[in-house]
């Protein structure tokens, strides 16, 4: 691809997160707490992925659905600010998706989401011309974009591949707790996925195995090219046809625990497009996620910031 920036398309959820500053832990039971403010931040897995991808230097398109309210404006402003091309289906009858995100200084979070307009996104909103020429197509915000769950996602990832792109998928936590039909809706996508991302709980749930490494291998046997397991403060593990590669996390203060996985995914996919070694891609992604985690005022680090951060650390 030479020195031209890679072209990447992210398909999925557009959500505004209302995030509390990190709070001290609550006692169990009814609680009344005070915070100095709520920070309205762009969120949604695919939105975070797109903003991070563009911040790293990729020419990035986001495809999703919003309402016609002030949260839609907030998202549009952020896409514009970060140079992301947004192809948005607009449903004026529904609110833009939003999440109440309670965060604690321990890193614990409680997220409550109203998917709103995201539920209206359809396969017809992803025409071939929108993905033609892309080097990479990423799909996330899987459950909130309920019109694309299962077969439509498999179809669009297969189309992306036929058009020459690599593909990735992160389904995140199932808000319905992984009933069998929802696991199957993920599994039918796997043969069309080059990189499947998830945390240990998600990988184990989709594979039906309690060991994360065995689960990752099982997902490969079900069709995923490689599997990347997010492991929080322990970093990440990659399962490829040639083996298992581990990469430790960077030790940073926790200021912004929402969206680390998406930032990680974008940085990993970006690094992989430039084809460094798998170990370097994991390290680059852990570093980008650490920068996101430690400062909510700069949630999407640039390529230069990630490289400078990596230079300051001896190889971990
Ligand atoms: N406490 C931490 N310290 C350092 N890095 C972290 C920490 N937590 C997360 N990370 C980084 O962020 C990446 C993704 O975070 P995590 O493992 O929490 O994924 P996730 O559960 O999929 O998160 P998300 O809900 O954001 O999708 C990790 O692989 C790691 O690189
Ligand atoms: Mg995740």
Q: CA–CA separation, 250 vs 227, rounded Å?
A: 21
Q: Which sign does the torsion angle of CA 263, 264, 266, 267 carry? A: positive
* Centre of ligand 1 from the C-alpha of residue 25, in Å: 20
pLDDT for res 1: 46
pLDDT for res 192: 98
**Beta-carbon neighbour count of residue 5 at 10 Å?**
17
pLDDT for res 257: 81
Helix (H) and strand (E) counts in the chain = 10, 13
Q: Which residues of 255-280 are buried (b: 16+ CB within 10 A; e: fewer)?
A: bbbbbbbbbbbbbbbbbbbeeeebee
Report which secondary-structure segment, H or E, holds 15.
strand 15-19
pLDDT for res 190: 98
pLDDT for res 232: 96
pLDDT for res 142: 98
* Centre of ligand 2 from the C-alpha of residue 3, in Å: 31
Q: What is the pTM of this model?
A: 0.96
Beta carbon of 249 within 6 Å of any ligand 1 atom: yes
Beta carbon of 293 within 6 Å of any ligand 1 atom: yes
Q: How many residues does the chain have?
A: 316
pLDDT for res 261: 98
Residues of the chain with pLDDT under 70: 1-2, 314-316
Beta carbon of 286 within 6 Å of any ligand 1 atom: yes
* Centre of ligand 1 from the C-alpha of residue 19, in Å: 17
pLDDT digits (tens, 9 = 90+) for 1-10: 457 899 999 9
| Ligand with an atom nearest the CA of residue 293 | 1
SS3 at position 308 = helix
CATH topology of domain 7-23+37-298: 3.40.1190
pLDDT for res 315: 58
Q: CA–CA separation, 172 vs 99, rounded Å?
A: 15
Report which secondary-structure segment, H or E, holds 76.
helix 70-81
Q: CA–CA separation, 306 vs 312, rounded Å?
A: 10
Task: Give every CB contact of residue 218 below 8 A, 6+ residues apart in sequence.
Answer: 207, 208, 209
Burial status of residue 112 (CB atoms within 10 A of its CB: 0-12, 13-18, 19 or more) = exposed
Q: CA–CA separation, 159 vs 163, rounded Å?
A: 6
| Ligand with an atom nearest the CA of residue 291 | 1
């Amino acid at each position: 691809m030479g020195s031209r920036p890679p072209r990447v398309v992210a398909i999925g959820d557009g959500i505004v997160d209302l995030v509390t500053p990190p709070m001290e832990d609550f006692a169990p039971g009814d609680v009344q707490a005070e915070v100095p403010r709520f920070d309205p931040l762009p969120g949604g897995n695919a939105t975070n992925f797109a903003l991070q991808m563009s911040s790293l230097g990729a020419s990035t398109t986001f495809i999703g659905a919003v309402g016609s309210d002030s949260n839609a404006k907030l998202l549009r402003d952020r896409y514009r600010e970060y140079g992301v091309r947004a192809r948005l289906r607009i449903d004026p009858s529904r609110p833009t998706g939003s999440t109440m995100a309670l965060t604690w200084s321990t890193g614990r979070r409680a997220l409550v989401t109203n998917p709103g307009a995201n539920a209206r996104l359809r396969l017809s909103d992803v025409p071939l011309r929108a993905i033609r020429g892309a080097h990479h197509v990423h799909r996330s915000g899987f459950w909130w974009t309920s019109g694309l769950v299962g077969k439509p996602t498999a179809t669009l990832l297969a189309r992306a591949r036929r058009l020459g792109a690599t593909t990735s998928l992160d389904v995140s936590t199932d808000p319905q707790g992984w009933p069998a039909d929802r696991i199957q809706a993920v599994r039918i996508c796997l043969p069309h996925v080059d990189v499947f991302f998830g945390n240990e709980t998600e990988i184990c749930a989709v594979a039906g195995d309690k060991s994360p490494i065995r689960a990752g291998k099982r997902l490969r046997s079900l069709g995923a090219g490689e599997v990347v397991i997010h492991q929080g403060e322990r970093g990440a593990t990659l399962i490829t046809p040639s083996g298992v590669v581990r990469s430790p996390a960077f030790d940073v203060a926790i200021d912004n625990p929402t969206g680390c996985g998406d930032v990680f995914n974008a940085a990993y996919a970006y690094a992989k497009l430039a084809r460094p070694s798998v170990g370097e891609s994991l390290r680059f992604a852990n570093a980008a996620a650490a920068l996101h985690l430690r400062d909510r005022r700069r949630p999407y680090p640039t390529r230069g910031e990630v490289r400078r951060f990596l230079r300051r650390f001896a190889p971990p």
